Structure 1
Amino acid sequence: MNFLYRTEYCGTLRPHHDGTIVKLSGWIHRKRDHGQLLFIDLRDHYGIAQCVINPSSPAFSILEHAPLESVVSVEGQVVLRQAHLINEKIETGAIEVQIQSSVILSQADPLPLSVNSDIPFPEETRLKYRFLDLRRPKLHEQIVLRSHIIQFLRDHMQKQGFLEIQTPILTGTSPEGARDYVVPSRLYPGQFYALPQAPQQFKQLLMASGFDKYFQISPCFRDEDPRADRSPGEFYQLDMEMAFVTQEDVFSVLEPLLRNTFQKFAPKGWEVPLDRFPRISYDQAIEDYGTDKPDLRNPLKIFNVSSILSRSTFSPFRDALSHKGVVRALKVPGLGEQTRQFLKNLEAWSLEQGAPGLGYIVRKGGKWQGPLVKFFSDEEQYTLSSMFGDEEGLGLCFMAGSCKESAHFLGKLRVHVWKLLNPLGEKTFQFCWIVDFPMYEQDLVTKQIIFSHNPFSMPQGGMKALLSCEPLNIKAFQYDIVCNGVELCSGAIRNHDPKIMQKAFEIAGYDAQDVERQFGALLNAFRYGVPPHGGAAPGIERMVMLLCEAPNIREVIAFPWTQQGKDLLMQAPGPLPLERWKELHLRPGEALHSVK
């Protein structure tokens, strides 16, 4: 390399460069003035090189007063460091560059956040000055890792015979379970495009078009509230679809893809089991873990104890069971060995979650003790011991209520208690499939039957199930991949039969005209012959977040939004000039009025 600004990269200098004259360019990462010598750590994308300059050099006065993060170009000789001065923490630690000349290419103003340290700064500051935040080594490395992971995924898919095909960004609205972002049309007054929540219909149309294996690194747009594992606005996924496949065929492609990806990019010390991903039904996941996103590193399980306590004198248990509810218990080994303050804190946490308190019993001194033990008969205590064992310190935490309420609370308690008892966690990536999702659910407000997952999924049992079964009892060929409590991927075997699709949408409250209007292209294509097909879409950010051990998804996105859905760097969303409103056939007053 022999460019105008550099002949080598800062991070690539090694002992074999000893004695060579090099030109480097980068940012002043750190300066150390030792009186007779000025040391400068020069940083570029590839790493850091230590440079040294003595006061007799004409470049000394130039660099002495240059602020941190100024961009400079230096020229000098590479020399080996003395053995006791080698810095083992950086790859260039065996050499340094003796500067002979220097030019300031861009002088930096005072910094709103420090780049050369991991000192925490408010998120608002970090996002407003994201270009500075991205210079910080850890975040910089995470964005580089993201790029490498995407390239690995792309290479893997192409080697498996998948074609990368781009689908439209401006399209029509689709019921994917979230709100669309819409774009007004200039040419067609009063009409709107939608940004795709996912390329769902397009990838199914590609299967109808005769393509056998499709994929793309797809941008998706959803107007929904953010979470730690969900970015507001937009996100990327490895979108894929295959023709002539069953559910197990899709699994046979995705399992090695994810296993190989995590094996290659796992942080040091982390393990990736080679076993086949466990298959857990949705119903079983809710029953055992209180969630359809279980972290299998956590061994705690939930048990239904309604039959054991069917004649309980404890009014919350009795009331729940009399109203077709359940009583469940979370088994926690070692709970009885914790301090009284630990248990008080657990009770306080339960109240914060909206529970009436924390009902528990523990094994101590060969018998059950705790706030609830007085409500259990000797027979009930014996049966609990027979079911859960009688090891010293064993604890049972109870929750009574509806099936959904009790599972939800104990699911959260399961995670909370395990984190308290195992603060360091377990450095293993534990995958599982969640299968047999319900096709439909009941809206809590309207009580109407709605799709629970993906409206384009094939119901198990086909048309016969739609005609003869209660909607809430119908399962679908839908599946998720979960890793360490994070949903990485959703997918399904698709409904490729127009009649079955129309009936499925009819049960969810869509009439024939609605279906034709929203999904006419898909239905029309299916009338001319379409293979059985299915696919999935692993989330890029979620994979990278796990592999970086990042606390939230914003740490693996170059330019994320705030939790409130704002881009502080580009000041979006923002107002439009009045002439643009007119061009788009919109009136600000009417728009504001309609919002109210």
Structure 2
Amino acid sequence: FVVPSRVNPGTFYALPQSPQTLKQLLMVAGYDRYYQLARCFRDEDLRADRQPEFSQIDIEMSFVDEEVIFPIFEGMMKDVFKKILNVDIPAHFQRMDYDVAMRDYGVDKPDTRFELKLIELNKSFEGSEFNVFKGAIQTGGLIKGLPVKGAAEKFSRKDLDDYVKFVGAYGAKGLLWYKFAADGTVSGPAAKFLKPEETDRLKAQAGLSAGDLLFVIADQARVTNDALGSLRLKVGEKLGLIDKTKFNFLWVTGFPLLQYEPSDGRWYACHHPFTSPAPQDTEKLLSGKDLGSIRAAAYDLVLNGTEVAGGSLRIYNQKVQSAMFRALGLTDEEAKEKFGFFIEGLQYGTPPHGGMAFGMDRLVMILCGTDAIREVMAFPKTQRGQCLMSECPSGISPEQLAELHISLRPPKKAAE
């Protein structure tokens, strides 16, 4: 979000997405510990657990690593849940590598209250003549399955058709399902394309037996994981597998540092551009080679499938920070124009430091037992980012525009 400055015509403020660079500069200035309830503003797509303005419990510390940071937040959560809900949670939380989370759950914030896991099936369908599987393998796609024990007769045809529409919202071109009967036969919309040896491999790999159901998606890796990971939650809800009395905390670590976006032809930071690479990958970043394999010293705290906090160790070396900006497609001149104050600060003996921020509204949402963040906020915005009470955002008068020294250009109408 940008705000025009009246006293400095032609210039704008950017509302803070987080106090990231400023809290890091406090570490440079010699403050060992920082704590703030920070108001943040993000102009991004809205969901049930997201609002354009929210509060963070924000912490930064110098001379720390994950083994110092994690126990602090584990203790904080243990205290909060005991005092608010009188619930005892473990002193230490489970940890899971990002690759494991994506492999088994299809998402980087898995709900571990139930055991339903995904399986990779590319090898099971090697040599398949079925165009869906053949095409996915030839184009470097991903075939994954969601085996559901004893569920072959628990879903109506309408349920299954609804699931096809459901995964379509995540970009999946389709959803296949297979029911395994006691007589050894397999039924489903694409069962006739299964060769006997493929059926045997499926049963062996997924541990399938009579009465089981298998959902399958074959698409590009991101689509397959998004769609099937979301379907896993829907199936778990349908079958009553999710224990709503549980509070399962999970640290997810080992995230990629960068993600390539083919449509833009450039790399993006998976967390933010101040996240440190894992120590063993620093040289890759400095050389600008093999960027997709670089891991980040980043971590998320997940509770029941919802990310409630995120953080990382930060870059504290000017050369590494400049290499990060270059990897993101910024020239040294562009980086200096945007972040010159921060880059200069890194010259003055910056200590190793790291931190974390809790989404306070999202945490309260979970404590209150609701899935909608709007339920715990006064005057929340709609999913279109509108405030129904004040009817904002709204237009402003020509006089106000003139005072701010700006003019409006109407958006071009879409071609009919």
Give the structure-2-normalised TM-score: 0.91
- The Cα RMSD (Å) is 2.1
Residues 567, 573 of structure 1: 8 Å contact kept: yes
Paired with 1:572 and 1:348, the residues of 2 have a C-alpha distance of: 36
The aligned counterpart of 2:66 is 247
Q: CA deviation at 1:413?
A: 1.3
Per the alignment, do residues 298 and 578 of structure 1 end up closer, same or farther by CA in structure 2, a change over 3 Å counting? same
Residues 262, 272 of structure 1: 8 Å contact kept: yes
Residues 1:288 and 2:104 are matched in the alignment: yes
Q: How does 1:402-417 map to 2 (within 5 A)?
A: 402-417=220-235
Per the alignment, do residues 584 and 488 of structure 1 end up closer, same or farther by CA in structure 2, a change over 3 Å counting? same
Pick aligned residue for 2:125 from 309, 322, 326: 309
The aligned counterpart of 2:276 is 458
> 5+ residue gaps in structure 1?
1-180
Residues 348, 357 of structure 1: 8 Å contact kept: no
Per the alignment, do residues 192 and 377 of structure 1 end up closer, same or farther by CA in structure 2, a change over 3 Å counting? same
Q: How does 1:411-560 map to 2 (within 5 A)?
A: 411-422=229-240, 425-460=243-278, 461=280, 463-466=282-285, 467=287, 469-560=289-380
Residues 320, 327 of structure 1: 8 Å contact kept: yes
Higher alpha-carbon deviation: 360-369 or 507-516? 360-369
Q: How does 1:98-177 map to 2 (within 5 A)?
A: none
Pick aligned residue for 2:145 from 329, 333, 338: 329
Paired with 1:570 and 1:209, the residues of 2 have a C-alpha distance of: 41
Paired with 2:230 and 2:283, the residues of 1 have a C-alpha distance of: 37
Residues 347, 357 of structure 1: 8 Å contact kept: no
Q: How does 1:194-205 map to 2 (within 5 A)?
A: 194-205=14-25
Per the alignment, do residues 363 and 201 of structure 1 end up closer, same or farther by CA in structure 2, a change over 3 Å counting? same
Match of 2:118, SS?
Answer: strand
How many residues get paired? Answer: 407
Paired with 1:189 and 1:337, the residues of 2 have a C-alpha distance of: 68
Q: CA deviation at 1:187?
A: 2.0
1:492-532 Cα shifts (integer Å, max 9, x gaps): 10001000000111011001111111111211111011100
The one-letter amino acid of 2:400's match is R
The aligned counterpart of 1:278 is 94
Paired with 2:345 and 2:34, the residues of 1 have a C-alpha distance of: 17
Paired with 1:228 and 1:428, the residues of 2 have a C-alpha distance of: 21
Residues 1:347 and 2:157 are matched in the alignment: no
Match of 1:367, SS?
Answer: coil
Q: How does 1:3-82 map to 2 (within 5 A)?
A: none
Match of 1:301, SS?
Answer: coil
Per the alignment, do residues 303 and 462 of structure 1 end up closer, same or farther by CA in structure 2, a change over 3 Å counting? closer
Paired with 2:167 and 2:208, the residues of 1 have a C-alpha distance of: 30
Q: CA deviation at 1:468?
A: 6.2
Residues 58, 357 of structure 2: 8 Å contact kept: yes
Pick aligned residue for 1:584 from 398, 404, 408: 404
Larger Rg: 1
The one-letter amino acid of 1:493's match is L
Paired with 1:264 and 1:312, the residues of 2 have a C-alpha distance of: 57
Per the alignment, do residues 184 and 476 of structure 1 end up closer, same or farther by CA in structure 2, a change over 3 Å counting? same
Per the alignment, do residues 272 and 320 of structure 1 end up closer, same or farther by CA in structure 2, a change over 3 Å counting? farther
The one-letter amino acid of 1:504's match is M
1:180-232 Cα shifts (integer Å, max 9, x gaps): x2221122110111111100011101111111111111100112232100012
Per the alignment, do residues 344 and 576 of structure 1 end up closer, same or farther by CA in structure 2, a change over 3 Å counting? closer
The aligned counterpart of 1:59 is none
Residues 459, 465 of structure 1: 8 Å contact kept: no
Paired with 2:323 and 2:284, the residues of 1 have a C-alpha distance of: 11
Per the alignment, do residues 186 and 344 of structure 1 end up closer, same or farther by CA in structure 2, a change over 3 Å counting? closer
1:47-98 Cα shifts (integer Å, max 9, x gaps): xxxxxxxxxxxxxxxxxxxxxxxxxxxxxxxxxxxxxxxxxxxxxxxxxxxx
Residues 249, 301 of structure 2: 8 Å contact kept: yes
Residues 366, 390 of structure 1: 8 Å contact kept: no
Residues 229, 552 of structure 1: 8 Å contact kept: yes
Residues 298, 415 of structure 1: 8 Å contact kept: no
Paired with 2:120 and 2:73, the residues of 1 have a C-alpha distance of: 33
Q: CA deviation at 1:238?
A: 0.3
Match of 2:41, SS?
Answer: strand
The aligned counterpart of 1:567 is 387
Per the alignment, do residues 353 and 397 of structure 1 end up closer, same or farther by CA in structure 2, a change over 3 Å counting? closer
The one-letter amino acid of 1:346's match is L
The one-letter amino acid of 2:326's match is E
Per the alignment, do residues 577 and 378 of structure 1 end up closer, same or farther by CA in structure 2, a change over 3 Å counting? closer
Match of 2:362, SS?
Answer: helix
Paired with 1:583 and 1:474, the residues of 2 have a C-alpha distance of: 48
Paired with 2:49 and 2:67, the residues of 1 have a C-alpha distance of: 27
Paired with 2:288 and 2:6, the residues of 1 have a C-alpha distance of: 48
Paired with 1:406 and 1:195, the residues of 2 have a C-alpha distance of: 35
1:321-379 Cα shifts (integer Å, max 9, x gaps): 1222222111111221315xx24422332134324443222332152522244333333
Residues 1:369 and 2:186 are matched in the alignment: yes
Paired with 1:368 and 1:495, the residues of 2 have a C-alpha distance of: 57
Q: CA deviation at 1:390?
A: 4.3
Match of 2:245, SS?
Answer: coil
Paired with 2:384 and 2:284, the residues of 1 have a C-alpha distance of: 43
Paired with 1:228 and 1:251, the residues of 2 have a C-alpha distance of: 28
Residues 306, 321 of structure 1: 8 Å contact kept: yes
Paired with 1:288 and 1:546, the residues of 2 have a C-alpha distance of: 24
Per the alignment, do residues 279 and 343 of structure 1 end up closer, same or farther by CA in structure 2, a change over 3 Å counting? farther
Match of 2:90, SS?
Answer: coil
Give the structure-1-normalised TM-score: 0.65
Paired with 2:176 and 2:394, the residues of 1 have a C-alpha distance of: 51
Match of 1:260, SS?
Answer: helix
The aligned counterpart of 2:214 is 396
